[in-house]
Amino acid sequence: MVQKYHSPVRIYKHPFEMVMAAYERRFPTCPMIPIFLGSDITEEEKSEDGAIHIITRRCRLNLDAPYILKRISGVEHLIFIQRNSYNWRQRTLKIEAWNESFNSRVHVLEGCTYTVHPDNSSWTCFEQTASLEIKSFFGFESTVEKLAVKQYAASLKKSNESQNNLSAVSSASPMNKLASSSVQEKEGAVGGPQEADEGTLVDEDYIKNFLGDLTPIQESKLITLREWLSETHKGKMPHDAHLLRFLRARDFNTEKAHEMITASLAWRKQHQVDKILKNWEPPDMLQKYFPGSWHYHDRDGRPLFIMRLGQLDVKGLLKAFGEEGILRYVLTINEEGLRRTEEATRKYGKPISSWTCVADCEGLSMRHLWRPGIKALLRMIEVVEANYPETMGRLLIVRAPRVFPVIWTFVSPFIDENTRKKFLIYGGKNYMEAGGLPDYVEPSYIPEFLGGDNYCEIPDGGIIPKSFYRSAEEIYSPDELPLCSETVYKLSILQKGVPHEVLVHVTEAQQVLTWDFDVLRGDVTFAVLFSKRPLTVLKEVNHAITSHHPAQGVSNTIVFDKSMVCGVNYNFVEQPLVCKAGESMQGSHICQAAGWYVLQWKYYQSVPSMNRDQKVSHHNKVAKVIYYQEVLASDDFRGSMSSLQSCQSGFSSLSISTTSSKHSQSSSHSSSQISR
């Protein structure tokens, strides 16, 4: 494998001639560069006017390697050939160097250029490239490769420091002016686009001021990724800070980082994420019931986000605004976070590429362990991890209740390991003690509900009224490209004589059939039926669009016809239960046999208690249900979200109404929960 290196642009704030005078002081030896043991000129040629000067040297370099490698190789130092090509007319120096020692086993090629700064003729630019290929080395190929990369990185740092020192020593005129870096902060949209041709030359000072301390190899990886991306991604380019996040997320593996960021850029373009802060306005009620907000900064200058996690009504948010709406809101938070990190970098004069989050878990309970909500949360985590890596600088979880370890057990495997290391969890009230929240956030910025001194205008959140619940067709716009590949709930509209039946094929005994549904309008009956004989969907009933219930794309499926007889063609395993408008049902059934199971919802009309003159409104003739179902393996069900929810009641509320002992025996394996 060939290891490659590409340096950023290093700027010496001295004229080209002064830098060259400093450079020549390293020959034949220089005490400031102890690795350079000496050199001899082997070839030299000049043009007639002296503008072109080419010198070839045979250089000896100290071999800083383990004793065993020196014994095996039989050498104490390495021989390199270096060819320097000066062009005094154009004020450039090009250097080529390659190894003479072990050239049949190891191939090293280095290239360096000194040029005049394009915007300041009194400054000099320096760039460096190198490649290393270990062909064979007495069985120590991997060791030699790692050692060579490590030593090369160290020598780069020493060489740069020595060049700066030599330039300072050679400075004998007032030409060395103190000035700000010529490389200014790159401008662009949130998330980082800039013109592709602006980002190929990255200044060393720019890296230090806006990206942070990087090793020479990390700098090289950044330059390599930028050049690679500029070839494959035409037009706008991400900021270097954004590129660096993807490199860190992939441990500076350029190939993996390139794959990750190209997928992210395609996703951003497809969904117009760069413009989401300008083009998408979150609904007022979503902002009111989402208990989180940006709030000043932490002690390190990172933007601070406060989240009252225990006040989050996950179920209500999903049913009122849909997974798409919540995810878009989460994306606006992340985009705003990127904007705030750029602003903080400018404000504090140091690289700030991530933010801090304080999650208040007071109020977190078993009601948050709701399987559809957790699944939606995990999909959102997946989207954020893929497109906003390394943006979480620190997550402080305070007032964690006893149920938190259970939630953490389910969620943590889906969070990147590097991100998990940034989590600090505090239970009880010890978060305000030494080592707690005040160590990371100034007390004057800690909200009053956490025991601080600051009044924080964060929405209270809380339970969303069911009057805000909407159907999928009302939530999702047909003109909007969905960010999620799937939705949590499906909608069914029930009228008298038009049930909705969901056919589920259970392939193995002991699998668990789970369900979750809400009655949004009218009353319904719900039951679960079973047949060992194969069943199919007999017909599909499409609902017409009316002024009373626009149901475009909503259809009911029907499995049983009137000729089928209970006890002959099918049996009830969960007897019909009347569910009133506004009720939420969650339940599960352990399937004792493989076969075809049917979840059945029917419109239920109670006997009206009204005068003869009163009329039944249209709304009472229609029922609306949103539902979700899933089949789990028995092992997966144990300890799952569904079992945690349904274990609230010892036996199924459905089985209570069972009249047949046979049905009771079957239904005793299921469990349900009604929340009003």
Judged by DSSP in three states, 444 sits in helix
* CB half-sphere exposure, 620, CA atoms < 13 A: 8
- For residues 305, 308, 314, 316, the Cα torsion angle rounded to the nearest 10 degrees is -110
What whole-number distance in Å separates Cα of residue 187 and Cα of residue 241? 12
Total domain count, the chain: 4
Domain annotation covers residue 297? yes
In a domain, 308, yes or no: yes
Return d(Cα 13, Cα 19) in angstroms, integer.
9
pLDDT band for position 128 (50/70/90)?
confident
Distance CA 627, CA 612 (A): 36
On whether both 266 and 294 belong to a single domain, the answer is no
CATH number, residue 566: 2.60.120.680
150 and 14 inside one domain: yes
More confident residue, 178 or 430: 430
CA distance 593 to 383: 38
Q: Give pLDDT tens digits for 479-529.
A: 555 665 445 568 888 988 889 999 999 999 999 999 988 787 889 999 999
pLDDT band at 668 (very low <50, low <70, confident <90, very high): very low
- Measured torsion, CA atoms of residues 526, 532, 536, 538, in degrees rounded to the nearest 10: -60
Is residue 463 assigned to a domain? no
- Indicate whether 14 and 159 sit together in one domain: yes
Q: pLDDT by residue (tens digit) across 332-351? A: 999 999 999 999 999 998 99
Contacts 24+ apart (CB under 8 A), 294-298: 294/333, 294/336, 294/337, 294/340, 295/445, 295/447, 295/454, 295/456, 295/458, 296/445, 296/454, 297/344, 297/356, 297/445, 298/356, 298/394, 298/440, 298/441, 298/442, 298/445
> Which residues in 112-123 are b (16+ Cβ under 10 Å) and which e?
bebbbbeeeeeb
Q: Which residue has the higher pLDDT, 607 or 9?
A: 9
Give the integer Cα–Cα distance in Å for 220 and 227: 11
Arithmetic mean of pLDDT over the chain? 78
CATH number at residue 121: 3.30.530.20
Contact 7, 199 (CB under 8 A): no
Give the CA distances from residue 445 to residues 299, 305, 431, 436, in Å, rounded to whole numbers and listed in that order: 10, 11, 15, 14
Instruction: Say whether 306 sits in a helix, a strand or coil.
Output: strand
Structural domain contains residue 411? yes
Lowest mean pLDDT among 147-161, 324-338, 397-411: 147-161
Of the three residues 271, 304, 335, the one that is the final residue of a domain is 271
Cα 571 to Cα 666: distance, rounded to the nearest angstrom: 10
What would the mean pLDDT of 126-138 be, rounded to a whole number?
76
Task: Give the residue among 26, 182, 176 at the shortest CA–CA distance from 93.
Answer: 26
CB atoms closer than 10 angstroms to residue 186: 20
Q: Two tokens at 37?
A: 């043991």
Are 85 and 109 contained in the same domain? yes
Which residues share a beta bridge with 40? 58
Residue 162 has pLDDT above 80, yes or no: no
For the ranges 233-237, 510-514, 602-606, which has the lowest average pLDDT?
233-237
Which of 88-92, 129-133, 203-207, 300-304 shows the lowest per-residue confidence on average (mean pLDDT)?
203-207
| Sign of the CA dihedral running 631, 634, 636, 637 | positive
Q: Are 601 and 499 in contact (CB under 8 A)?
A: yes
Domain that holds residue 250: 194-271
DSSP designation for 598: E
At 203 the pLDDT is 65
Q: Does 20 map to a domain?
A: yes
CA neighbor of 428 nearest in space, from 443, 411, 450: 450
- What is the enclosing helix (H) or strand (E) of 220? helix 216-232
pTM above threshold 0.85:
no
Of all residues in the chain, the percent with pLDDT exceeding 90 is: 34
Residue 583, classed as helix, strand or coil, is: coil
Cα(598)–Cα(501) distance, integer angstroms: 6
DSSP state of 465: P
List, as own/partner pairs, every contact residues 462-467 make where C-beta atoms lie below 8 angstroms and the sequence separation is at least 24, other chains included: 462/289, 462/291, 462/311, 462/313, 463/313, 463/316, 464/285, 464/289, 464/313, 464/316, 464/317, 464/319, 464/320, 466/316, 466/319, 466/518, 466/520, 466/582
Same domain, 54 and 198: no
Q: How would residue 116 be classed by pLDDT, with cut points 50, 70 and 90? A: very high
Q: Does 344 map to a domain?
A: yes
Examine the pLDDT at 648 and tell me if it is beyond 70. Answer: no
Pick the residue with more confidence: 160 or 5?
5
> Do 444 and 577 sit in the same domain of this protein?
no
Q: pLDDT-based confidence at 593, cuts 50/70/90?
A: very high
Q: What is the pLDDT of residues 455-464, one digit of tens each?
A: 888 998 999 9
- Domain end, chosen from 222, 240, 271, is at 271
Same domain? For 546 and 636 the reply is yes
Which of 450, 472, 500 lies at the terminal end of a domain, its last residue? 450
Cβ neighbours, 10 Å, residue 665: 13
Residue 637, pLDDT score: 60
Same domain, 622 and 499: yes
344 and 288 in a common domain = yes
Q: Does residue 350 belong to any structural domain of this protein?
A: yes
* Residues 445 and 555 placed together within one structural domain of the fold: no
**Residue 289 and residue 403 in one domain:** yes
Residue 175: inside a domain, yes or no?
Answer: no
Looking at residue 288, which CATH number applies to its domain?
3.40.525.10
Do residues 313 and 425 share a domain? yes
